[in-house]
Amino acid sequence: IFFDPNFSQVTEDADKGTVMITRDSFISFALDSAEINSWFAYFGDLDDISSGKHEPFETEKLALSIHSEGRKRHEDHVFSGGILYSLENDSGPSADCCIRGNADDHMAAPAVKLSLDWTHGFNSRGAKQNALFVGSEGAVIYPVGTMCVKSSRGNRKESCSARSQLFFCDHTAYVSCLALFETDVSEHIMATGERAEFPTIRVWSINEMETLVLLRGFHKVGVSHVDFSPSGKHLVSVGMDKYHSIAVYEWGKQSLIFSSCSTRQSIHDCRFLLSDELFVTCGNLHTHFWAQSTGSLKYCRARGILGDRMSRNCSINCLASLSNQVIVSGTSTGHICEWEGRNCFQVHKAHHSGSVEVIKSLPGKDEFCLGTNEGIVQIWSNSFQLLNSFSIDVAGGLGQVICSLQWDLDRKKFLVGLQSNEIFELDDADGVCTEVITQSHFGKQLFGLDVNPVKPTQFVTAGGDKTVRLWDSLNHTVSRMVQLDSMIRCVAFSPDGKTIAIGLGGTGTKGKKDRKDGAFTILREHDFCIIHEARDSRKALTTCKFSKDSTTLAFGSLDQRIYIYDTKRFSLVGRTKHHQGAITSIDFGRADASDFVTTIRSTSSETDEILFWDLAGTQQSRSSQAEMQWDSSSCTISETHKKCAYSDGAIILCYCRSASGDYAVTADDHERIRVFRYPVDFSSPLCWTIKGHSSNISNVRFLADDSCLISTEADECCVFQWKIEHLHQLNSQTTQMIADSHIEGYVEAEAEDNGQAWDDAMMESTDALFKMEVLARDEHFVPRRPWQQQIVAPSSRNFRENTDEPDHDLTLEWVHGYNSSFRNNVLYSSNSNEVLYHVANVVVKRDLNEKNQSYFMGAKDEITCISVHPSKDKSICAVGQKGRHPFVHIFDYTVMEMVQVLHGHHQRAISNIRFDRSGKYLCTIGQDLFHTLIIYDWSNGTIKHESQTVKMQTLCIDFCPVGKRLVQCGKGFIRFWELGNSSNLTFSVADLDVKGKLQPFYGIGWIGNSPIIGTDDGFLYMFEGRRLERKVKAHTSAIYTIHYTNEGIVTGSKEGTVKIWGQQLECKRTIDMRQHTLGGGEIRSVCWDIDRGKIVVGSSSNEIWEMDLNNDFVEDDCSPLTKGNTGCDSWVLAAHPFEARFITVGSDRYLRVWCAFQHILLKSIELEMKSYACTYSPDGQFVAVGFTSTYNQKNSASCSLFDGKW
């Protein structure tokens, strides 16, 4: 680079005769160099560069120069926290330039917690019978988005707020169908299917709201129908693929017992009828009877014969079996068909002008009911006498098509679900509505949403069903509704809350435009009376907003223009025309809080542009808006974020800032809601991610008091209400800890106070795992083995290869030592007579009675962590490994056979793994840049919770013995995670007060429900909740490992001591392992078996010992259970020429002689220095050893004198 033409002399040092260049100039050169940029991309060295942390070199200025154009380009780059932003020369203001609070606050996740409070509407476009009565109390189950809602209601006299909703949140896609089975013990079992590329079927308990069984792997595209057999043993499902494939499961055993293609015609219903040996499918122009063959699990299909009683062109819409063993079906022509075998022998006319959509029969009753597409509910006797009939119009529903009908004969109630996204409870005598279970918009689209700025409990929605609805967020009801004569696309409250602006337009059936596209309407809030109508655009209005002073109203349109109105007479005062795409969001701004509105900011997501306008519609320059304060923030594009998309490719659909200005939310086309601190960095992972929607989220808004977040779905038209809970106020030290835990420079800033502690924490798991942090930005990084770098193809082949399989095989017989690079990896099995540990990619089970070894060899790469199932009834072990996309292997260590494999969710490695106390869930921490935390329902292979955590290394995780809490600790942080019923996770940071300090935290134990955490300076921190309650000086150096039991905890330290602690943190016994372990090794793992009164200890000297609490050791001659070579590596192995022995030498300077038959160490000799070569003499009497020295920079000359000695 000294000869690069871009360089010229800038300064000369006459004394030294050199040409100098400043550090900033060199950085500018590096940014413009393609080769150096490729180094940055690979090694991630830009993390070491941040503004304000380094001064230009004074004594080590580089002898380089840079061209003036390169210097100008450098000025156009801004370094912020290690992230490089490239700004254009005409850079203007940020879309979120009004910064509130501490400038560093946005470096932490927002201090709020969102939980789903209420849902409005249901998945009415899924299968029929999607709303079900459950139990005798009238609870209702129905699907909403990716969830199922259990709505429990109070009596009619009680307030609406007495109702409650519980959510089953284990699905990850649109819940399309459900089925109910009631056992003899009043336990309610639900089966639900979803619509996804690779869908799953979940069988779950309604009482516990938890998955019992997961069925997957057969269906594609989605599951359209599910149904239990009469005995509840079998479950039938229909897929959404081209051939509508059918599967029958013995769900309790997760066994697929039958599968077959069905038909290309759409299937409208699928039911088990009369027995487990028969199910029927029906649909467009067909009815198929599937009967089980005698003595076989196979079902044979037979086509139903309508004969001449019915037209063959009719569709069969629904099925049921009556208590008199008669099968009935409803048709598109309004008939009820009776079937005997596969023959239709009788037809009854139920409805003259419409179709029969659903039929519901009652076991053991002489009556059944049906619903039609014109809103008629009929009650029939089993002898086909019409007993009663009424219309659902009296319920006040907007739709007519009945898609779900249930009958609770004991309570004399009907549960009616309509395709108009409404569920009503009706009296079965006269059809009077006794309660509205849920309701929402319907049709193709729901985009309009705004909140009342004066009344914090009110918000308004408007959609393609032409209705405007005013909602009460406290009582979860619709306070007022009006239906207009045109579809609605946008809505906005005036600042005083007295008027509502409505923007009209939309696309009707078959793509037909609405006749009033581009018109707008002004409604009075208290009675929804129209006070003004006008139309200036000929295309649909997409967004609208009032100015904060109520003097101006602006509408954005699909015609790429903004229409600006004076609110006194609603006369048009301005119109814009320079956008290249449809207007998607509008904000008003002013120069300062005391000024009138002067600017409109607008964005178009179609073309990723943001423009500024005055109130006359004249475009303004970006630079003139630098000091602007924005009354609202809804634009998804800003100067710092040029595209409305996340780094993972998800498109940001909508954005909203809270009323307080402390945080903001985004919604994307991956159906996620993300909560950030304000101002927002969309690329930051420091946010809460919330899931629940099943289609694109069309809008999000905070209520006026920030008590709730409202979100709407565009396609399913459901409305979600999220409760916002503010986390506890933290003291100054903890607040700083939250911010610092996400700043890369934090380690360097604290290094002076902690000395070598940070370096020890960095290397405590040695090089192999954490050196991959250097390549953290390379998402496709995979470790490369040393020997792979030396592989070359032969230049010529003068021999003939023998491709036959060898006559002999290799079987692992014994393993010496264990992987002491990792901690907490020597564990007792459930029966306590076995010890489990891992070496390379092998798990070793050492039988303490038989003194033999058995192995699990299913891992595909080096194992990094291990955990044993807590139940003594299950012999289950889980291990994590390294790799580009590492595996989690769960196996039965009694037979050493695989039980479950979890894959595809982590990157680079899995550093921590732990079962919860019930053994149902398994938590893992990945080695990606932000150390992703995942909690699996491992038996079903599904993810229960997932969240990114921090950049700092996680050193330990553990579940709370009681309750749904998880503790995560590591290099300078402690987090307490709350595990809710939904898939969302929240955390609080440890409050260390003045007693504790930030440092590496290595281990977690428990006394009761209080976590005990080991520190780098040898203290035990005891917490109550998240507050540090007490600390005890336990060791003179770092506490590397902790294990807990009902009687207390055991700790192991860096100085090589093991201590037993009681329930009051009183030390009961101290064991000094330095007199037994080679070189006084550090304690890497401890495990306490209170039943046998023994402790197993793993040390850094690659030895495992078992100790008795009364006697020192149980092994003869105080020998360890296993021992191996120590140090960083062991490259040398030589076998005796004719005896069953071999020698090893490594970096620990010990030559060891091993017996291959007895699996013991015969002798060991300490050498002068490291050895990387050795061999036996041909007679086996001598051993030759070649030495190498440890490189020491301070004394490199003297050390090199010993290189080559032998």
The partner residues of 966 in beta bridges, in order of sequence, read: 959, 977
3-state helix, strand, coil in the chain (%, to 5): 10, 45, 45
Burial string for 434-471 (b: 16+ CB within 10 Å, else e) reads: bbbbbbbbbbebbbbbbbbbebbbbbbbbbbbbbbbbb
SS in 3 state form for 877-914?
Answer: EEEEEECCCCEEEEEECCCCEEEEEEECCCCCEEEEEE
Please, are residues 689 and 949 in contact by the beta-carbon 8 Å criterion?
A: no
**Strand, helix or coil at 417?**
strand
Q: Which residues contact 186 (CB under 8 A, 6 or more apart)?
A: 135
**Strand, helix or coil at 780?**
coil
Pairing of strands 327-331, 316-321: antiparallel
Please, are residues 369 and 407 in contact by the beta-carbon 8 Å criterion?
A: yes
Distances from the Cα of 1066 to the Cα of 918, 925, 1059, 1112, 1206, angstroms? 29, 32, 10, 21, 53
Q: CB-side exposure of 380: number of CA atoms within 13 Å?
A: 24
Q: How far apart (Å, rounded) are the C-alpha atoms in residues 1066 and 1088?
A: 17
Residue count of the chain, please give it.
1206
Please, are residues 235 and 228 in contact by the beta-carbon 8 Å criterion?
A: yes
Q: Tell me which long-range contacts 599-603 makes (C-beta under 8 A, separation of at least 24).
A: 599/625, 599/628, 600/554, 600/562, 600/564, 601/95, 601/625, 601/628, 601/630, 601/635, 602/556, 602/562, 602/576, 602/635, 603/635, 603/636, 603/637, 603/644
Please, are residues 1104 and 1121 in contact by the beta-carbon 8 Å criterion?
A: yes
Pairing of strands 688-691, 672-677: antiparallel
**H or E element that contains 439:** strand 433-439
Q: Which residues contact 164 (CB under 8 A, 6 or more apart)?
A: 151, 152
Residues in the chain, pLDDT under 70: 1-20, 24, 32, 34-35, 37-109, 154-162, 184-185, 508-511, 592-597, 605-606, 638-648, 682-685, 727-800, 981-982, 1078-1080, 1112-1118, 1128, 1189-1204
pLDDT tens by residue, 1064-1121:
999 999 988 887 776 667 899 999 998 888 999 999 888 999 888 877 554 444 678 8
Q: How far apart (Å, rounded) are the C-alpha atoms in residues 25 and 31?
A: 10
pLDDT on residue 767:
41
Burial string for 368-377 (b: 16+ CB within 10 Å, else e) reads: bbbbbbbbbb
Nearest-CA neighbor of 1044 among 1065, 1025, 1018? 1065
Please, are residues 671 and 693 in contact by the beta-carbon 8 Å criterion?
A: yes
Q: Which residues contact 1059 (CB under 8 A, 6 or more apart)?
A: 1034, 1035, 1050, 1051, 1053, 1067, 1069, 1070, 1071
pLDDT on residue 747:
31
Q: Where are the beta strands (DSSP E) in 145-245?
A: 147-152, 164-168, 174-182, 188-195, 200-205, 210-216, 223-228, 234-239
pLDDT tens by residue, 693-714:
988 899 999 999 999 999 999 8
Written as six digits, the tokens of 921 are 């869930």
Please, are residues 425 and 418 in contact by the beta-carbon 8 Å criterion?
A: no
Q: How far apart (Å, rounded) are the C-alpha atoms in residues 1200 and 1202?
A: 5
Please, are residues 456 and 705 in contact by the beta-carbon 8 Å criterion?
A: yes
Domains by residue range for the chain, with CATH: 11-91 (no CATH), 350-439 (2.40.128.630), 446-580+658-726 (2.130.10.10), 766-779+812-948 (2.130.10.10), 1132-1200 (no CATH)
**Cβ count near 1193 (within 10 Å):** 6
Pairing of strands 210-216, 477-483: unpaired
Residue type, 23: R
Q: What is the dihedral of CA 259, 264, 265, 268, to 10 degrees?
A: 30
Q: Is 151 left (phi over 0), alpha (psi -120 to 50) or beta?
A: beta
